[in-house]
Amino acid sequence: MKVQVCIIGGGPSGLLLSQLLHLQGIDTVILEKSSREHVLARIRAGVLEHGFARLMREAQCGERMDREGEIHNGFHIAHDGVLDHVDLHKYSGGNSVLVYGQTEITRDLYEARDRLGGKVVHEAEDVTPHDIDSEKPFVTYRTAGATVRVDCDYVVGADGFHGVSRKSIPKHKLTEYERVYPFGWLGVLSRTRPVSSELIYVKHERGFALCSMRSQVLSRYYIQVPLTDKPADWPDEAFWVELKRRLPTEVAGRLITGPSIEKSIAPLRSFVAEPMRYGRLFLAGDAAHIVPPTGARGLNTAASDVYYLYHALLDHYKKGDDRGLDDYSARALARVWKAQRFSWWMTMLLHRFPDRLSYDDRLQQTDMAYLFSSEAALRSLAENYVGLPF
């Protein structure tokens, strides 16, 4: 097989890039190791920044998102027995976020790929990039016992944190920056009415909690738990009791509980690999960087990678201009690191760290007090949460 761009990974990053390129007449294939059902069974975060929503519309995939997604103009932070409000619309100069599940985004992107007849190979085994530092890279994979070779101009590694792309770059060419947090988030999805029309982030002495949602009839809640905990340690009843203990009394009083339809524990990690290019391989999304979910930046950071890479490839194919490709890593990383900073900051502000000093507690309290006493601090939070420009 021969294509212009071979994309490894059929998550939101790879799908969105291939859809955008296809609309411009640039030929791609997506090699995805899992089945479509498996990819669509993963529950991920649900807050989209306006820049990501814009890109979905540009990819002609925004119709259901605009119909079913909910515009959120603010969120709450519960701390020290009070429920403070962050007015995103006011403090970001008129912007907002869209609450729409990432799983639904992925579904919409797959349907769009189907409509255009996009090439997506599922259950591609042993996907391996070759000769990425040459002018003629190629990728091989196995399917039904046979090996298939894909010749291409460029390879895009959009295969997530555990993918093969980043690992195919020689170790001495890559610098990795990482922080692993000493706790996880236990998440529960339940077919219940959300406790609040806006998200509530909770800082509590028993640990962080978050009240989120997917729709008016589907709630998503999280509590901070030790990394040693397993979902089986948390029967539904125990989860609801612990969540209520962390919520302000008035909020806990109106929480509607129900059976969980999904329950999992996600570790929290900050990670960046630099540079995001090696020869003719370009990394995008989780393949190059991970944020803890606290700032809702994961998918939104992948969006700017896709945007920069899409325009860089367009300039190459339509104008013979390679400056975008040459600058891709530096441009993408500049925004990636701002999302890292913001996600780290939100995480530090809201969680209980097991080995903290009493000094750290006082700084954390002061950070919160400063936030709600300063318009400048609220503006900074709002502009980062709705998404920095790209």
Chain residues that interact with ligand PHB, rule: CB under 6 A: 45-47, 199, 212, 220, 293-294, 296
204 contact partners, CB below 8 Å, separation of at least 6: 78, 79, 245, 246, 352
Nearer to ligand PHB, 35 or 197 (CB): 197
> Quick one: what does residue 160 bind among ligand PHB, ligand APR, none, with the CB cut-off 5 to 8 Å set by partner type?
ligand APR
Nearer to ligand APR, 299 or 378 (CB): 299
**Residue 129 makes contact with ligand APR by CB under 6 A:** no
Contact residue for ligand APR among 3, 5, 7, 12 (CB under 6 A): 12
Task: Give me the least distance between CB of 82 and ligand PHB, in Å please.
Answer: 20
Nearer to ligand APR, 79 or 335 (CB): 335
First to last CA, the chain: 34
User: Measured between alpha carbons, how far is 229 from 73 in angstroms, rounded to an integer?
Assistant: 35
Task: Give me the least distance between CB of 378 and ligand PHB, in Å please.
Answer: 17
User: 3-class secondary structure for the chain?
Assistant: CECCEEEECCCHHHHHHHHHHHHCCCCEEEECCCCHHHHHCCCCCCEEEHHHHHHHHHCCCCHHHHHHCEEECEEEEEECCEEEEEEHHHHCCCCCEEECCHHHHHHHHHHHHHHHCCEEECCCEEEEEECCCCCCCEEEEEECCEEEEEECCEEEECCCCCCCCHHHCCHHHCEEEEEEEEEEEEEEEECCCCCCCCCEEECCCCCCEEEEEEECCEEEEEEEECCCCCHHHCCHHHHHHHHHHHCCHHHHHCCCCCCEEEEEEEEEEEEEEECCEECCEEECHHHCEECCHHHCCHHHHHHHHHHHHHHHHHHHHHHCCCHHHHHHHHHHHHHHHHHHHHHHHHHHHHCCCCCCCHHHHHHHHHHHHHHCCCHHHHHHHHHHHCCCCC
Q: Which stretch binds ligand APR (CB under 6 A): 158-166, 206-214, 220-228, 236-244?
A: 158-166
Nearer to ligand PHB, 60 or 73 (CB): 73
Contact residue for ligand APR among 3, 6, 7, 8 (CB under 6 A): 8
Distances (CA, A) of 54 to 48, 204, 364, 379: 10, 35, 35, 22
Nearer to ligand APR, 52 or 183 (CB): 52
**Residue 34 makes contact with ligand APR by CB under 6 A:** yes
Q: CA nearest 251: which of 83, 84, 70, 85?
A: 83
**Residue 160 makes contact with ligand APR by CB under 6 A:** yes
Task: Give me the least distance between CB of 304 and ligand PHB, in Å please.
Answer: 18
Nearer to ligand PHB, 294 or 301 (CB): 294
**Residue 339 makes contact with ligand APR by CB under 6 A:** no
Contact residue for ligand APR among 3, 21, 26, 31 (CB under 6 A): 31
Contact residue for ligand APR among 62, 157, 298, 387 (CB under 6 A): 298
> Quick one: what does residue 33 bind among ligand PHB, ligand APR, none, with the CB cut-off 5 to 8 Å set by partner type?
ligand APR
User: Measured between alpha carbons, how far is 291 from 289 in angstroms, rounded to an integer?
Assistant: 7
**Residue 113 makes contact with ligand APR by CB under 6 A:** no
**Residue 3 makes contact with ligand APR by CB under 6 A:** no
Task: Give me the least distance between CB of 327 and ligand APR, in Å please.
Answer: 21
Q: Could you give the string, one character per residue 82-111, with x where binding to ligand APR holds by CB under 6 A and - elsewhere?
A: --------------------x---------
Count of residues that bind ligand APR according to CB under 6 A? 28
Q: Which stretch binds ligand APR (CB under 6 A): 21-29, 62-70, 144-152, 161-169?
A: 161-169
Task: Give me the least distance between CB of 297 and ligand PHB, in Å please.
Answer: 8
- Residues forming the site for ligand APR (CB under 6 A): 8-14, 31-34, 39, 44-45, 102, 124, 127, 158-160, 162-164, 285-286, 298-299, 302
